[in-house]
Amino acid sequence: MLKKLRRKVSTAFTSGPKKGSKPYKNPPPPSPASPLPLPLLSTKTKTMSHTRKHSPFLFPHVDSSVVPDPSNLFSPNLLSNPLPTNSFFQNFTLKNGDQPEYIHPYLIKPSNFSLSLSYPSRFFNPSFTYQVFNPDLTISSSQKSHLSHFNHTISSHNDLSVTLDIPSSNLRFFLVRGSPFLTFSVTQPTPLSITTIHAILSFSSSDSLTKHTFHLNNGQTWILYASSPIRLSHGLSEITSDAFSGIIRIALLPDSDCKHEAVLDRGVREESRDEIVSALVNDVEGLNSSAITTNSSYFYGKLIARAARLALIAEEMCFLDVIPKVRKYLKETIEPWLEGTFSGNGFLYDRKWGGIVTKQGSTDAGADFGFGIYNDHHYHLGYFVYGIAVLAKIDPVWGRKYKPQAYSLMADFMTLSRRSNSNYTRLRCFDLYKLHSWAGGLTEFADGRNQESTSEAVNAYYSAALMGLAYGDTHLVATGSTLTALEIHAAQMWWHVRQGDNLYGEDFERQNKVVGVLWANKRDSGLWFAPPEWKECRLGIQLLPLLPISEVLFSNVDFAKDLVEWTLPALNREGVGEGWKGFVYALQGIYDYEGALQRIRSLNGFDDGNSLTNLLWWIHSRSDEEEYGHGKHCWFGHYCH
């Protein structure tokens, strides 16, 4: 949690952002489309392909007498694949698996059917320095069944995280490199025990019993967050709970400064919940699939993603009453596109270039903003993938049923394979040299490839990662997350024009805070659908859709403030759409909570992919402290030695 090509400006800004179309020369004739995405191969090609298939060469097998047996500490489902031998969690796989590993910023040690974490101190001498492990906190069940001889089992892992299960304690730990939180799930109602080698000096709980703070006599302050109320009691060096089931996150508070605590809290302030829930109820009440008038793959996708955001916000607000209606709406809007029963449009497979096109785009090069000639594929499909990921999360049965279609949409722009029998080209939009995407498709331009909306590109790969999470596909999560990170870094470098960078010369830098369209051979201040003076459109097209990942895209608070102040005068122009204003005010909320909130409350319209609920969620989950952003002061630096 919009654009491209010569958008129709006569109606583009009365109710929110609209897209236009680029000029197309000599559009290719429509090609017969097949619902089956099979490559068109000659008989000869098939025969040659078949005869060249060989199994990879392996040296003779051996049953080594020196390598340890991994089966004790890995989940059985992982044993059928090669296992890591130099991973960041390797100690957890060897012998009893009870030697600590540094999973930044904590040292983690599983042992005795529990897990201990240490915010390590450092030891210095003239010869070496190292981090000292002390079990600051040890987490376990206070009623262990000891069903297993082994302390823990590794149930999944990827480049940045490992999941440790302690079956005898009903605990599952999600250890993520670089996270300030230790996160664990209590899979069944279980009483918990948190012990410390230090003395507990003070302990306090929020009224909701979902946040608890305790101070230790070594100077450390820890915060415990729970997904639902949990009653805790404490003695001199132990905290215990009644039976609890849910998610718990624990983090060290770097110092007593409340600014850091506000960052760790992130979620919506309790006093703001009622306002968001009120908007949520109204926005969900307005969902009506039969009232949708657009058959554009772009605008339809935006409506799907907008509704999906409502479901996730409802979960965060613990207001689940609206989710059944959102689920019904998502099913009614997504299924016709996946089943090919949507009368106005649909997805088809183009054998000429090997990719998805729309029914409209297969006969009209300008339809769906050029989607039929491969323009903006990651933009359009990214919105669909986001909606599918959310629906698969809240309705896993539906997700399993439509997984083949879901993966086909994702693979159109996310395929990594170079295999000759692949249905889709490798990374259709992403440029592995430039480390960002292009959007132009099969249209000739004097200045080469181009991309306008970096934020919609980010949304595409972010949505793919979310789909991976929904389906438990760690490879897709890793790939989507990597491409998301690269797209963000490229946007910040090439599209965000920061004073003093001197990338584009003093004249361009003086007049512009953000690039409109970036070309292979040109940087343009204009947009496909708006002139350079419409600064609110330039800001909005690099921010929408408004999602949690948007905070990372605009993590530099100083730049966000400069960009908003550069844009605000443009809002005085007659005819500025309320939808565009919403994005300006959202970015203002990064550094001016109260000012942005008042302006958002005054809006009388929203972009078709946005909602009052989403804007209020964004504003109320911001910190009201201007200076603590990645660009000015990195709060996370306090966790780094």
Query: Which residues are annotated as catalytic?
Result: 376, 452, 456
Measured between its terminal Cα atoms, the distance across the chain in Å is 34
Which residue type occupies 534? W
Phi, psi angles (nearest 5°) of residue 166: -120, 85
Considering only CA atoms, which of 395, 387, 551 is closest in space to residue 466?
Answer: 387
Peptide bond into 105 cis (omega under 30): yes
At 510, the amino acid letter reads R
- Residues 70/93, Cβ–Cβ less than 8 Å: yes
Alpha-carbon distance of 383 to 553, in angstroms, equals 18
339: which 2 tokens? 């089943």
Q: Is the peptide bond before 545 cis (omega within 30 degrees of 0)?
A: yes
Compute, in degrees rounded to 10, the torsion defined by CA atoms 569, 572, 573, 574: 170
Q: How far apart are CA 600 and CA 610, in angstroms?
A: 12
Task: List the one residue out of 626, 511, 620 whose CA is nearest residue 567.
Answer: 511
Q: What share of the chain is helix, strand, coil (3-state, %, to 5)?
A: 35, 20, 45
The partner residues of 106 in beta bridges, in order of sequence, read 103
Half-sphere exposure of 51 (CA within 13 A, CB side): 5
Three-state DSSP state, 537: helix
Read off φ and ψ for residue 232, nearest 5 degrees: -120, 145
Q: Which helix (H) or strand (E) holds 383?
A: helix 377-394
Interacting residues of 604 by C-beta distance below 8 A, sequence separation 6+: 578
- Give the closest residue to 130 by CA, choosing from 141, 142, 139, 121: 121
DSSP state, 322? Answer: G
Cα separation of 324 and 331, whole Å? 11
φ, ψ of residue 5 to 5 degrees: the values are 60, 145
- The torsion angles phi and psi of 566, rounded to 5 degrees, stand at -70, -30
Alpha helices in 416-497 (DSSP H): 454-471, 474-490
The answer to whether 183 and 224 are in contact (CB under 8 A) is no
For residue 468, the SS3 value is helix
Q: Give the rounded distance of the alpha carbon of 631 from its chain centre.
A: 20
Burial class (CB in 10 A: 0-12, 13-18, 19+), 153: buried
Q: How does 28-51 read in b/e, with b if 16+ C-beta sit within 10 Å?
A: eeeeebeeebeeeeeeeeeeeeee
CA distance 58 to 38: 31
Q: How far is CA 194 from CA 240, 248, 274, 325, 449, in A?
A: 6, 12, 33, 40, 56
Amino acid at 87: S
Which two tokens mark 203? 């302990």
Q: Is 353 helix (H, G, I), strand (E, B) or coil?
A: coil
In whole angstroms, what is the distance from residue 499 CA to residue 513 CA? 8
